[in-house]
Amino acid sequence: MFGVASEVVASWSPLAVFLRLLLATITGIIIGAEREIHNKDAGMKTHVLVCVGAALCMIVSQYIQERGLGNLDMSRIGAQVVSGVGFLGVGTIIVTGTNEVRGLTTAAGLWASACIGLAAGIGFLDGTVLALCFVLFTFVILRRIDARMHLANYEFDLYVELETNRSVKHLLHFLRKIGANYSNLRIKKSAAEGDGPLVTMHIDLDAKGDLIRQAVVEEVDSLDYVYYTEDY
């Protein structure tokens, strides 16, 4: 795909090592910048370190083989990187107070960065650039498609902070009135003294009806006895 550049990067020389690490750094910066723009926990520095570290592992593997320093299967160190980077991903995944899991995409992005770093470290220029393009496509284009699908869902979970205990009854009456079916109702006492209950429930809208997810959330949020509303 890139002709001479691919041959130079795939060769074994100080220049090739420099270009591989540079390629891994640029890849980490691009992916990390996209995450940082959207205020995610793992930004440019994290992605660059993961990508460069993975690249260096592959370079070290090839170095040992080129110098004849030992009988090493080059894939072994790379395999350890792919599995070992999981501890970073776990650190970015959190479960919120509304039982919503967040950070999965960031964790997957870190894992993908490590894999791309392995490709850069072995000098596979075509694979590195193509994989980077597909990762950016996932983060930029598919994120927008996913957001639109998210708003069009007829089933979702709703988290509501209410004024008083009586507000729960009023809220359920309102949902029945507009034709929104609910299930898995859970009521928790607020940790803050003087605040009302915290309610979570599963909402199921009639796909053939006129109710829209965003409209339902906005109507619930506009109720006088509702402090805060979130759908997920």
Could you give the CA distance from residue 62 to residue 111 in angstroms, rounded to a whole number?
Answer: 22
Cα–Cα distance between 7 and 123 in angstroms, integer? 9
Q: For each of the chain's 232 residues, which pLDDT tens digit applies?
A: 667 777 878 787 888 888 889 988 998 888 888 877 776 766 788 788 888 888 888 888 888 777 766 666 666 777 777 777 776 666 666 656 555 566 777 788 888 888 888 888 888 888 888 888 888 888 888 778 777 766 666 788 889 999 988 999 999 999 998 888 898 899 988 767 667 899 999 888 876 566 788 888 889 999 999 999 988 7
Residues of the chain with CATH 3.30.70.260: 153-231
- pLDDT of 149 reads 67
End-to-end alpha-carbon separation of the chain, Å?
A: 43
pLDDT confidence of residue 162: 92
pLDDT for position 169? 92
The H-assigned helical ranges of the chain are: 4-10, 14-37, 44-67, 74-84, 86-92, 104-121, 125-137, 143-152, 166-178, 213-221
CA dist 24 and 67 (Å) reads: 23
pTM > 0.75: yes or no: no
DSSP annotation of 197: -
pLDDT of residue 69: 62
Work out the widest C-alpha separation in the chain, in whole angstroms: 77
CATH class, range 153-231: alpha beta
pLDDT at residue 45, as a whole number: 81
pLDDT of the residue at 137:
87
